[in-house]
Amino acid sequence: MKRLVKLYFLLAVALVAVALSSCDSDVIYDKYNHTPLVGWEKNDTLSFDVPPVKDAGRYRLELGLRTSTSFPFTGLSLVVEHTVEPGHMLYTDTVNCRLADEKGNVLGNGVSCFQYNFIVSDISLNKGDSLHICVRHIMKREIMPGISDVGLKLTRR
């Protein structure tokens, strides 16, 4: 009998854990593209394709960034271009990512690899709209070392 009670208790704990860790229903898209740690070249544009949204409304576009300790700067400037389809409406945002403070202390989360999140923009989409998004760095240095991944997340507001 005690064994059965233990089993039911473990099953209940597992169900609660699954329910609490389930995906956020407001997240429409969340994907990362890998870049070579030795260097992300200036002409290497990262592309993301967001499938058609099911509902019209306001959405937030966020940029995720993962870096290593080999990233040589305190900041990173990126251009994020997103095209809304249908209609071919092109929007361009410049995102200035502050990665360390004036003393060189890293502002991201992590120990040897660091995670950052930056708001790109809030956008209005109609039902059935999709997005094609391109991200590239606009730093003076041609090859940017220490960036491992760049990601985009679209959430409903």
| DSSP-derived 3-state class of residue 33 | strand
In the chain, the amino acid numbered 71 is: F
Note down pLDDT in tens along the chain; length 157 residues.
666 555 454 555 555 444 444 455 799 999 999 999 889 999 999 999 999 999 999 999 999 999 999 999 999 999 999 999 998 999 999 999 999 998 888 899 998 899 999 999 999 999 999 999 999 999 999 999 999 999 999 999 9
pTM score: 0.81
Q: Are 93 and 120 in contact (CB under 8 A)?
A: yes
Domain count, the chain: 1
In a domain, 84, yes or no: yes
- Domain encompassing residue 60: 25-156
Domain containing residue 50: CATH number: 2.60.120.1300
Would 3 be classed as within a structural domain? no
